[in-house]
Amino acid sequence: MKCANVLKNKLDILVDLKNTDKSLFETPDPLQIAKIYKDEFIALLCALFAYGNAKNIVNFLNKLDFSLLNLSEKQIQKDLKGFKYRFQNEKDIMQIFITFSRLKNEISLNELFTKAYQKRQNTTDVILAFMQKIRKLNSYSSYGYDFFFGKIWQNIPTSPLKRYNMYLRWMVRKDELDLGIFTKIHTKDLLIPLDTHLFKISLTLGLLKRKIYDYKSVLELTQKLREFDANDPIKYDFALYRLGQSKEIDAWALNI
């Protein structure tokens, strides 16, 4: 119990230090771009392109003309010629923008996500509802396009759904770090945006016992963080991520 209290106290101090604009802009992060626009669709594009090297992600996002979401599909195809990013080729990126444009013309993400959330107060339901919606809007399929949006599951997902849970953190939490645009989804129901780095950090700190990187580990880690803050467990996400990124985790863990 003493060890758990020490860890909670240290993490709370770390949150106060790291959940700030100053800390956010110390190294490249896709949230930096999302905060410029404060737009639900642009933020989701930033989150779903957020895989790979953070510097490369931000460099790519800085090259995109997000105003294309408000233009015709013909204009989108014209202006995105030559654009590609890792698994997404030129056509994939065109179709991603076209899908977002079609969705934007039909419903806001806030409305879509809130409706799905209100049925069971489950944020994974929100992600599934979005995936199902975009599949109805565009039948296009390729490896890069399908990777970008993710695979629809039956029953429960196996994927940690890191990019979507990160987006929900941005949009639901409201402080100096996160945007707080979705006001009808409660922070207590958010799930940790678990990537492989945070997975290893959580094992090192004893926050996680499960040795498999999957959705069940997301649930286990989130539940552990709820012991520290039942109303806002995901406030620890960015601080833990920065702790691993700075390579301070081993020395930090020794003092617990």
Q: Quick one: tokens of 130? A: 């979005």
Q: Which domain holds residue 174?
A: 2-254
Q: How many domains does the chain have?
A: 1
Residue 67 DSSP one-character state: G
Determine the Cα–Cα distance for residues 79 and 62; give it in Å rounded to an integer: 15
pLDDT in tens, 221-234: 999 999 999 999 99
pLDDT in tens, 175-226: 999 999 999 999 999 999 999 989 999 999 999 999 999 999 999 999 999 9
Taking Cα atoms as reference points, which of 148, 142, 140, 144 lies closest to residue 130?
A: 148
Q: Which residue has the higher pLDDT, 253 or 66?
A: 66
Residue owning tokens 């109805």? 136
The predicted model scores a pTM of 0.95
Specify whether the CB–CB gap between 192 and 199 falls below 8 A.
no
